[in-house]
Amino acid sequence: MIRSDIIRGHLDSIILRLILEKDQYGYEISKEISLRTDNRFQIKEATLYAVFQRLEKRELIESYVGGISHGGKRKYYRITTLGIAYLKETVKEWHETKDIIDLFMEGIE
């Protein structure tokens, strides 16, 4: 399991990326993160909802209530135009950061 503090700074981008693929609700995003990382990274529910609040406040995502499922209505999240622009910027930053870290970390096993 990877240390969560290493990924924490990238949670906004990870969640934006998942919502870019399709509108999703919290539990669905949580499960998708576990699935894609083969359970190497799991996001706590409280952390996930804190990210949703932050992204909504910055108008990078918006929420809406979906249809009734399992007795309740689900809150879905969709990415905004501003969110797409922000995500593209963070992807550029990530590639630059990765290149710099690779300079120092590659070749040591």
Note the pLDDT of residue 107: 79
**Residue numbers of the domain that contains 89:** 4-105
**What's the rounded Cα separation, in Å, for the pair 12 and 86?**
10
Q: How many domains does the chain have?
A: 1
The predicted-structure confidence for 5-33, as pLDDT tens digits, reads as follows: 778 888 999 999 999 999 999 999 999 99
The predicted-structure confidence for 55-84, as pLDDT tens digits, reads as follows: 999 999 999 998 777 777 889 999 999 999
Note the pLDDT of residue 12: 95
**What's the rounded Cα separation, in Å, for the pair 92 and 90?**
5
CATH number at residue 98: 1.10.10.10
**What's the rounded Cα separation, in Å, for the pair 15 and 12?**
5
Note the pLDDT of residue 1: 58
